[in-house]
Structure 1
Amino acid sequence: MTPVSNPTVLAPRVTEPKAFGRVAVLMGGTSAEREVSLDSGRNVLEALRARGIDAQPVDGIPALIEALGAGRFDRVFNILHGNKGGGEDGTLQGLLEALKVPYTGSGVLGSALAMDKIRTKQVWLSLGLSTPRYVRLAKGANVHDAARELGLPVIVKPSSEGSSVGVSRVFNDADLDAAVELAARYPGELLMEQLIVGGEYTVGILGDVALPTIRIVPAGEYYDYHAKYLAEDTQYLCPGLEDAAAERAMQALALAAFRAAGCTGWGRVDVMRDKAGNNYLLEVNTAPGMTSHSLVPKAARQVGIDFEDLCWRVLETSLEAARG
């Protein structure tokens, strides 16, 4: 497909690798998304080094604290995915802010809020941004009553995990308890959400620009962990919408959602589109994957940004003085 012309994202802010100093590529950690993070981190590390940047791998936050204490790094490229032991919930960002170490991606507020799907929804709804109806499942809540309130089918998932970890699609009342049991294996609250029947899309954000949409078409029924990271037969259509007005509308919604959650720098917003053409926001990912299957690199290529250039531009977000 011919790359889309979008000059607003085609000008890097710096041209010399020395402008970044010594860069820690933070990856791995102890979250449920460790393996994805390691894969992403290896790719980022290779890309930065290919552009002449002095980049070194660091596995997890304790190792990073030790390295920063020894003065080995000037900034951090955060590709640590997930919540518990991960780098997306605001904890890492708060640490780096306190140490005055520049880092990529969203700040404390955006990272913490986006990791909490329930509270992100509350912000979106307060601003009139569309998202599927939901119920917060408190400990001991009657999940069958909650499902009747929303109406089957529903999705049950942890409120603070990514990469489709702990997610179940429930079409029958008899399957609800097993879905809750699976989601409860992960920390944080549980979320039951109306299942939107339609197309699954994602919109990458780079700086203050929404990249072309991607429509995700898995070979199986759902875009689950296997389809995201392992399967070779998942289709990614970019731009995801043939109608130019519909494409712009979804990009605008995604960018508004990203800003509303206090996010900055770069990220990805996931969206469902029902058969009537209505868009529904699902979540924001503040440290998206950078694997061979990942979506932000696919969208960036459509505006002429290859993987090495994308990693450079993401690293540039660490040059920003103020954060949301």
Structure 2
Amino acid sequence: MTAQHTDRHSRIRALGRIAVLYGGHSAERAVSLQSGGAVLTALQDLGADVVGIDTAEDYLAQLQAAQPQRVFIALHGRGGEDGQIQAVLDAFGYAYTGSGVAASAIAMNKLLTKRVWAGSGLPTADSRVLSADTDWSEALQALGGKAVLKPVLEGSSLGISIVDNAAAMASGYAAASQYDSEVIAERFIDGPEYTVGIVGDQALPVIRMEAESGFYDYAAKYERDDTRYFLPSGLNEEDEAALQALSLTAFRTLGCRGWGRIDTMRDSAGRFWLLEANTIPGLTSHSLVPKAARAVGLEFGDLIVRLLEQVEVQA
């Protein structure tokens, strides 16, 4: 047995029993099942004492039966990424991966996230809260004639559309309203999209995304095979470092911890704009944090172990 293997074995043993929470009831259940399955398989392959729990079922009873020392949250969307499951775990004394209750709730809410960033002087595009009686033409003109419509409380680009006329804005609002009662319109930024994964205090290498359709939506993220990811990102060294620093600041400003991902865009003048924060990014074959981690020598299983090692367990 090699020294490296012995070290990994001791690290796995030190983690104690692990519960992986995945599935749930959100609109992102299918992706969460993939993420949780990948985490569970990786830990099993490493010889960890691990149990998988689908939170669509009676997860609390299963947790109490398993009595894990650490919980890996692989839930996406409402109920898992918005502070709800974190509040339950806190109440019952379970230590878990990722951000706490308040930061999770803020980061899941696109409007609150933008307000925190803007109030801290960080660059995020102008936006408007929409309602059924909004003057579509006036709102669109105020945002520069082209806007991105987003449900406030939804992830994975669900319910998002790009509009450049009043009729499209009205129909886009109706579509977004199916996911959440609160919808925002954000000034459209014409330029490449970049994402920065964060593990602990480290910003991972920047990834540039390019969707064949021109829009990095749910299908481009999880279903299509023609979405392109550029790693290295194509940024020069100075700009790459600046974007990593901005992303770390944005992450910390929201009170986030553990790991996550910050999505950004760059306009034609070369300025970076913060789009949103993800406190539990995907861990699927298409997912970006594992891609970036691999670029710095952190294979998938090692990444999962690193995230679990960050969890503070009460003695």
TM over 0.5: yes
The answer to whether the 8 Å contact 2:199/2:260 transfers is yes
Residue of structure 2 in register with 1:56 after alignment: 51
Which of 246, 251, 255 is residue 258 of structure 1 equivalent to?
A: 251
Query: Would the alpha carbon gap of residues 212 and 259 (structure 1) be closer, same or farther in structure 2, given more than 3 Å must change?
Result: same
1:185 shift after superposition:
0.6
Cα distance, 1:61 vs. partner?
A: 5.8
Cα distance in 2 for partners of 1:262, 1:143 equals 35
For residue 312 of structure 2, what is the aligned residue in structure 1?
A: 319
- Give SS of 2:204's match: strand
Q: Match for residue 25 of structure 2?
A: 30
1:68 paired to 2:63: yes
Aligned CA distance change for structure 1 residues 244 and 186 (closer, same or farther; 3 Å): same
Structure 1 residues 15 and 127: alpha-carbon distance in aligned structure 2, compared to 1, 3 A threshold: farther
CA contact 2:140–2:164 (8 Å) conserved in 1:
no
The 3-state SS of whatever aligns with 2:95 is coil
Higher deviation after alignment, 303-312 or 132-141 = 132-141
Specify the alignment match of 1:4 in structure 2.
none
Distance 2:182 2:10 in 1: 44
Q: Alignment partner of 1:70: what SS?
A: helix
What secondary structure, in the 3-state scheme, does the structure 2 residue paired with 1:160 have?
A: coil
Determine helix, strand or coil for the equivalent of 1:212.
coil
- Report 1 or 2 for greater relative contact order, CA contacts < 8 Å, sequence distance ≥ 6: 1
User: Could you list the per-position Cα deviations for residues 19-72 of structure 1 after superposition, in whole angstroms to 9, with x for gaps in the alignment?
Assistant: 222211111111010000001111111111111111121111653211123344
- Report if aligned partners of 2:136, 2:166 keep a CA contact under 8 Å in 1: no
Matches of 2:172 and 2:132, distance apart in 1: 14
**Is the 1:26–1:60 contact (alpha carbons within 8 Å) kept by the matching residues of 2?**
yes
Residue in 1 that maps onto 2:4: none
> For residues 60-100 of structure 1, what are the alpha-carbon distances to aligned partners after superposition, in whole Å with 9 as ceiling and x for unaligned?
165321112334433210011001xx311111111111111
CA distance in 2, matches of 1:14, 1:296: 24
Deviation at 1:15, TM superposition (A): 4.2
Confirm whether residue 191 of structure 1 aligns to residue 187 of structure 2. Answer: no
In 1, the alpha carbon distance for the partners of 2:129 and 2:262 equals 21
Q: Deviations over 1:257-283 (max 9, x none)?
A: 000011000000000011211000000
Q: Structure 1 pair 273/267, CA: closer, same or farther in 2 (3 Å)?
A: same
Helix, strand or coil at the partner of 1:272: strand
**Mapping of 1:65-214 within 5 angstroms?**
65-83=60-78, 86-138=79-131, 140-214=133-207
Percent identity reads 49
Hey, what's the Cα distance between the residues in 2 that align with 1:79 and 1:290?
8
Report 1:294-309 matches (<5 A): 294-309=287-302
Task: Kindly tell me the number of residue pairs found equivalent between the two proteins.
Answer: 308
Whole-angstrom distance in 2 between the partners of 1:71 and 1:230: 34
Partner of 2:42: 47
Q: Provide TM-score, normalisation by structure 2.
A: 0.93
Q: CA RMSD in A?
A: 1.7
**Partners of 2:61 and 2:246 in 1: CA distance:** 41
TM-score by length of 1: 0.91
Letter in 1 for 2:18: V
1:195 is aligned with what amino acid? F
Q: Summarize deviations over 1:247-304 as a string: whole Å, max 9, x none.
A: 0000000000000011000000000011211000000000000000000001001100
1:67, 1:73 within 8 Å by CA — same for their partners in 2?
no
In the alignment, the residues of structure 2 paired with residue 124 and residue 320 of structure 1 have an alpha-carbon distance, to the nearest angstrom, of 31
Structure 2, unpaired ranges of 5+: 1-6
Per the alignment, in what secondary structure is the counterpart of residue 156 of structure 1?
strand
Counterpart CA distance in 1 for 2:312 and 2:10 is 13
Which one of 265, 270, 275 corresponds to residue 272 of structure 1?
A: 265
Task: Note the C-alpha offset of 1:189.
Answer: 1.5
